[in-house]
Amino acid sequence: MSADGYTPGRLDDQWKLGFWDIDVALPVLIGIFLGWLSGSKTGFCCLLGGSMLVSRWLARKKGDKHSAFILHWLFWNLPPTPMTYLTCSPPSALRRMVG
């Protein structure tokens, strides 16, 4: 048995779609799909353009921050619904930290 095994250093990287992180590429993919469903060239172009703007906004918002910044931003800015509510953490309206 060899003692010089390879240990990958980046197991927690975000999923990639080509060169882009999945959270930046997903709005464009959704825009392409919805534009295709619309059945018109105008709708496709409008949805594609809007989704590219959203993707660019997300990329700029994410910038040099933590890789899960978008998830944290969504938690603090979306209303607490059963889909976004986490029971083990305080509600997003509670801004004062104790400790």
The sign of the dihedral angle between the CA atoms of 74, 75, 80, 86 is positive
Q: What is the pLDDT of residue 29?
A: 92
pLDDT tens, position by position, 34-91? 999 999 999 999 999 999 999 998 888 888 787 778 778 877 777 766 665 555 666 6
Q: Report which secondary-structure segment, H or E, holds 17.
A: strand 16-17
Helices marked H in 1-99: 22-38, 41-62, 69-77
Q: What is the pLDDT of residue 91?
A: 64
Region 14-24: mean pLDDT is 79
Locate 71 and state its tokens: 């998830």
Tell me the CB-side half-sphere exposure of residue 13, using CA atoms within 13 A.
10
Among candidate residues 19, 22, 5, the one with its CA nearest the CA of residue 62: 22
Least confident of 3-7, 12-16, 37-41: 3-7
What's the pLDDT band for 20 if we cut at 50, 70, 90?
confident
